[in-house]
C-alpha cells in the first residue's frame, strides 16, 4: 500500500537517503528536507498522510513543538518520530505532543515502513516494550532535572537566593551591598556562603550552575520576596535596577 509522505530531518543526506529508499518501495514522497526551522509549516502546507520527523535530541526542551503545531493544524497527518532511544519520558513526550509513532533511527527500512502503515491506520507505531516503559514513566514520573534546582535552592536562605541572582547578573560586591541595603562586608559574607553551599569555587561557576540547572529561574521569585515592602515599615534600601 502506497503512502503519501514527507521526510524531515536535520541532516539532508539522511532525509534524502530515506526518501529514496521509500520511493523504491512504491511510496509517494512529497518532500525530503532538512529545515532548521519551519518543519511544521512545511508539513501543514503539503498535508501528507504521514510525516517522518527525525531528531537527534528527543530529550531537548521544545523538540516536539513542531509535532504539536502539525497536529493542531492538520490533525489527520500521522507523525512518526525517528530518533535514538531516549529515556522513556522522551518517547512519552513525543506521544503527548501528538506523535503516532516512535522508531529508532537505526531501524531497518522494513521497520520504518511498517510504522508508517500502522500510523496511517491510527495505531501506535512503537515497539511494545518501549511503549510500556514510556507510559509507565508518563503515569509515574521520575525526578526531573529541575529537581536539582529545587534541592540547591532549598539550602539557600532567601537573602542568599537574592545574592545568587545578583551574582548571575554580574553585580560586584559593592553593587550587591547597595542594592540590598547592607554593608559590603555582609554582602561579601553572603557571596561566600552561596559559593560554599553550591559547592563551587567562583562567582562564574555559581552563575553557570544556576543557569544549567534552572536554579536562576527558581531563585528569581525568592529575590522578589526578600525585598521588604515599603508599607511594612522596614526600609527596603535602594534596589539596583535589573
What pLDDT, on the 0 to 100 scale, is given for residue 223?
47
Residue where a domain stops, chosen among 139, 158, 184: 139
**Least confident range of 90-99, 135-144, 179-188:** 135-144
Distance CA 188, CA 193 (A): 9
Query: Domain count of the chain?
Result: 2
Beta bridge partners of 32: 7
Higher pLDDT, 2 or 91: 2
Distance CA 22, CA 103 (A): 15
Q: Within a domain: residue 241?
A: no
Top-ranked range on mean pLDDT: pick from 85-99, 105-119, 139-153: 105-119
Whether 233 shows a pLDDT value over 50: the answer reads no
Average pLDDT (149-155) is: 79
**Least confident range of 22-31, 111-120, 124-133, 216-225:** 216-225
What's the mean per-residue pLDDT of the chain?
81
Whether 95 shows a pLDDT value over 70: the answer reads yes
Are residues 40 and 118 located together in one domain of the fold? yes
HEC secondary structure over 26-58: CCEEEEEECCCCCHHHHHHHHCCCEEEEECCCC
C-alpha distance from residue 182 to each of 27, 141, 157, 163 (Å): 71, 43, 16, 11
Q: Within a domain: residue 25?
A: yes
What pLDDT, on the 0 to 100 scale, is given for residue 135?
65
What pLDDT, on the 0 to 100 scale, is given for residue 237?
42
What pLDDT, on the 0 to 100 scale, is given for residue 227?
42
Distance CA 232, CA 242 (A): 23
Phi, psi of 155 (to 5 degrees): -90, -5
Are residues 11 and 115 located together in one domain of the fold? yes
For residue 45 the three cell numbers come to 502546507
The tens digit of pLDDT for each residue in 74-83 reads: 999 999 999 8
Domain that holds residue 209: 147-232
What pLDDT, on the 0 to 100 scale, is given for residue 11?
83
Residue where a domain stops, chosen among 139, 158, 185: 139
Q: Within a domain: residue 93?
A: yes
**Least confident range of 18-27, 93-102, 178-187, 203-212:** 203-212
Q: Give the DSSP H/E element, type plus range, for residue 81.
A: strand 78-83
Whether 238 shows a pLDDT value over 60: the answer reads no
Number of Cβ within 10 Å of residue 83's Cβ equals 21
Q: Within a domain: residue 238?
A: no
Amino acid at each position: 500500500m502506497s503512502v503519501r509522505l514527507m521526510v524531515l530531518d536535520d541532516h539532508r543526506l539522511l532525509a534524502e537517503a530515506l526518501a529514496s529508499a521509500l520511493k523504491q518501495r512504491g511510496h509517494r514522497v512529497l518532500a525530503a528536507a532538512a529545515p532548521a526551522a519551519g518543519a511544521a509549516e512545511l508539513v501543514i502546507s503539503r498535508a501528507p498522510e504521514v510525516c517522518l520527523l527525525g531528531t537527534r535530541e528527543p530529550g531537548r526542551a521544545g523538540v516536539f513543538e513542531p509535532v504539536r503545531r502539525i497536529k493542531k493544524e492538520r490533525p489527520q497527518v500521522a507523525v512518526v518520530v525517528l530518533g535514538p532511544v531516549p529515556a522513556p519520558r522522551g518517547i512519552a513526550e513525543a506521544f503527548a505532543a501528538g506523535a503516532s509513532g516512535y522508531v529508532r533511527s537505526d531501524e531497518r527500512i522494513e521497520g520504518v515502513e511498517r510504522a508508517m502503515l500502522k500510523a496511517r491506520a491510527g495505531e501506535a507505531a512503537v515497539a511494545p516494550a518501549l511503549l510500556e516503559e514510556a507510559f509507565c514513566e508518563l503515569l509515574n514520573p521520575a525526578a526531573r532535572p529541575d529537581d536539582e534546582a529545587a534541592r540547591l535552592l532549598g539550602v539557600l536562605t532567601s537573602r542568599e537566593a537574592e545574592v545568587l541572582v545578583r551574582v548571575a547578573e554580574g553585580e560586584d560586591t559593592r553593587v550587591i551591598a547597595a542594592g540590598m541595603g547592607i554593608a559590603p562586608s555582609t554582602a561579601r559574607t553572603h557571596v561566600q556562603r552561596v559559593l560554599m553551599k553550591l559547592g563551587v569555587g567562583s562567582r562564574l561557576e555559581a552563575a553557570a550552575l544556576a543557569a544549567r540547572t534552572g536554579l536562576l529561574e527558581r531563585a528569581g521569585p525568592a529575590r522578589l520576596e526578600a525585598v521588604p515592602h515599603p508599607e511594612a515599615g522596614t526600609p527596603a534600601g535602594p534596589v539596583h535596577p535589573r
